């Protein structure tokens, strides 16, 4: 980006835990906001697998880079008073408690808006703040099942499958970031704060939208796939290949060496082979022939050959193989970032137009409570008051410094 960080000067009080809320506020931090992560004593529940108490894991790093952390007991009167002081000077407040819980702690939207009328307040939950399922516990796989993603993902496999890549959480994080960005822009133009009700359910609905529209269009079924559209074994691995129409099928035949078996009359026209049940007949026979030919070469050979003939394809990588792809390395898609509490650098992909550079504050995820004393001092607490709060267990600190920007 050539412009200054657009959210510089924006202060965010972040009570969210898990994936969606923290990653959304991490993005605000990357684009310049000062994000104060308010964690319970011991830290966010995602820190539980860390090697040290309140430490980092790869997941906590990706959700907390660029933030400052304070550990605060919100169930205590003094802890609540600390949070009220933080809120009074904030532009954004984000929480991800089960609906009603944050209100019982004294920080509902109405309570926070009474302290700070211009606040942009975001509630991130599984099913929303109202409705018959509002109180249900929820996480990514629950929404994958509920919204149809598991069933649709398994349609061409052997039954419903969970995607372990947490697509609902990550999409909800992007939607939360975009909603907060729009609300901050609206506040700048109109001078008003707002309450955003953001849900994993919304993200799941968008992820399932393509399949939903297909079923509505085809009497409850998914549209038949092209005959050659899927994963195939090679001599040393697996490759995804797609031929969507006659032109692409002709390119694929050429790339496969113009084997005469591929142009038999029963395989013409290629587009007519699509069928609601593609596991039988000529469509299945053609796939079997292509599969036989692909076993005769390595994945690298076929990727090079298909790319030369403009055939859509990709090696079927796992996440580590993707990280090591030459194209990915040449683009500098990932930075390896050194983190407190971890022995090895953590690979993190760049955000849109904004690399995350090692050695800057934006590249570091704090340990739980790393900035407790500094945050309190910034909000007017004296050294004696900070010591009193620490001694009483109202706040806690890991006190590990973060690099300067």
Cα–Cα dist 31/333, whole Å: 18
Q: Among residues 274, 300, 323, which one ends one of the domains?
A: 323
Domain boundaries, position 242 = 229-323
Token pair 């690979």 is at which residue?
A: 347
pLDDT at 307 over 50: yes
Q: Hey, CA dihedral for 349, 354, 355, 356, is it positive or negative?
A: negative
- How far apart are alpha carbons 235 and 248 in whole angstroms? 23
* Residues 313/232, Cβ–Cβ less than 8 Å: no
What are 353's two structure tokens?
């137009």
64 and 165 in a common domain: yes
Q: With beta carbons less than 8 A apart as the criterion, state whether 115 and 90 touch.
A: no
**Whether residue 175 is found in the same domain as residue 241:** no
Neighbours of 329 (CB within 10 A): 11
- The answer on 164 and 34 residing in a single domain is yes
Task: Establish if 401 belongs to a structural domain.
Answer: no
| Same domain membership, residue 362 and residue 292 | no
Which residue's structure tokens are 């539980």?
A: 48
Residue 328 lies in a domain: no
Q: What is the mean pLDDT of residues 21-44?
A: 96
Q: What pLDDT is stored for residue 279 in this prediction?
A: 60
CATH at residue 190: 3.40.50.10540
81 token code pair: 């008073």
Residues 49 and 179 both lie in one domain: yes
- Do 90 and 113 form a contact (C-beta atoms < 8 A)? no
The residue among 323, 346, 365 that closes a domain is 323
Q: Please say whether the beta carbons of 208 and 163 come within 8 A.
A: no
pLDDT band at 405 (very low <50, low <70, confident <90, very high): very low
Tell me whether the omega of the peptide bond preceding residue 269 falls within 30 degrees of 0, making it cis: yes
Percent of the chain with pLDDT over 70: 95
Residue 161: predicted pLDDT: 84
261 plus 165 within the same structural domain? no
pLDDT tens string 76-135: 999 999 999 999 999 999 999 999 999 999 999 999 999 999 999 999 999 999 999 999
For residue 6, being part of any structural domain is answered with no
Count of domains forming the chain: 2
The residue among 403 and 158 whose pLDDT is bigger is 158
pLDDT for the residue 322:
95
Report if residue 128 sits inside a domain.
yes
Asked if 69 and 172 sit in the same domain, the reply is: yes
Same domain for 156 and 234? no
Q: Are residues 191 and 234 in the same domain?
A: no
- Please name which of 44, 69, 72, 41 lies closest in space to residue 59, comparing C-alpha atoms: 44
User: For 167-201, what is each residue's pLDDT tens digit?
Assistant: 999 999 999 999 999 999 999 999 889 999 999 99
Asked if 258 and 345 sit in the same domain, the reply is: no
Q: What is the CATH number of the domain that holds 299?
A: 3.30.1540.10
- Per-residue pLDDT reduced to its tens digit, 256-301: 999 999 999 999 899 888 755 556 688 999 999 999 999 999 999 9
Residues 293 and 386 in one domain: no
Q: Does residue 235 carry a pLDDT above 80?
A: yes
In angstroms, what CA-CA distances link 48 with 3, 44, 45, 59, 130? 38, 8, 6, 11, 30
Q: Residue 3: its pLDDT value, please?
A: 60
Query: Token pair of 290, please?
Result: 């292509």
């Amino acid at each position: 980006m050539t412009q200054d960080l657009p959210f510089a000067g924006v202060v965010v009080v972040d009570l969210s835990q898990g994936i969606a809320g923290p990653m959304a506020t991490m993005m605000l931090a990357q684009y310049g906001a000062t994000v104060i992560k308010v964690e319970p004593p011991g830290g966010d529940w995602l820190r539980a697998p860390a090697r040290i108490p309140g430490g980092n894991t790869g997941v906590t790093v990706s959700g907390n880079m660029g933030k400052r952390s304070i550990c605060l007991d919100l169930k205590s009167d003094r802890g609540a008073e600390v949070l009220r002081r933080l809120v009074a000077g904030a532009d954004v407040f984000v929480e991800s408690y089960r609906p009603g819980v944050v209100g019982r702690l004294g920080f509902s939207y109405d309570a926070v808006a009474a302290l700070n009328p211009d606040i942009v307040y975001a509630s991130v939950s599984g099913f929303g703040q109202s409705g018959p399922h509002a109180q249900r516990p929820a996480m990514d796989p629950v929404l994958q099942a509920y919204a149809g993603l598991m069933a649709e993902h398994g349609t061409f496999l052997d039954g419903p499958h969970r995607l372990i890549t947490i697509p609902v959480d990550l999409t909800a994080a992007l939607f939360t970031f975009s909603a907060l960005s729009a609300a901050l822009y609206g506040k700048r133009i109109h001078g008003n704060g707002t309450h955003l009700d953001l849900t994993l359910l919304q993200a799941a609905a968008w992820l399932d939208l393509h399949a939903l529209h297909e079923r509505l269009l085809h009497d409850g079924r998914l549209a038949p796939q092209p005959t050659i559209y899927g994963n195939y074994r090679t001599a040393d691995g697996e490759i995804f290949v797609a031929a969507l129409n006659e032109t692409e099928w002709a390119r694929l035949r050429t790339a496969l060496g113009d084997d005469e078996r591929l142009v038999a009359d029963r395989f013409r026209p290629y587009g007519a082979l699509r069928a609601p049940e593609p596991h039988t007949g000529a469509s299945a026979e053609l796939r079997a022939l292509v599969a036989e030919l692909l076993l005769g070469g390595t994945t690298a050979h076929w990727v090079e050959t298909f790319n030369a003939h403009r055939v859509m394809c990709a090696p079927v990588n796992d996440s580590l193989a993707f990280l090591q792809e030459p194209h990915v390395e040449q683009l500098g898609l990932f930075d390896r970032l050194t983190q407190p509490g971890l022995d090895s650098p953590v690979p993190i992909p760049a955000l849109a137009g904004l690399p995350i550079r090692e050695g800057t504050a934006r590249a570091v995820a704090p340990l739980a409570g790393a900035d407790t004393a500094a945050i309190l001092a910034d909000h007017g607490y004296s050294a004696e008051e900070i010591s009193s709060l620490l001694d009483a267990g109202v706040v806690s600190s890991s006190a590990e410094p973060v690099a300067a920007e």
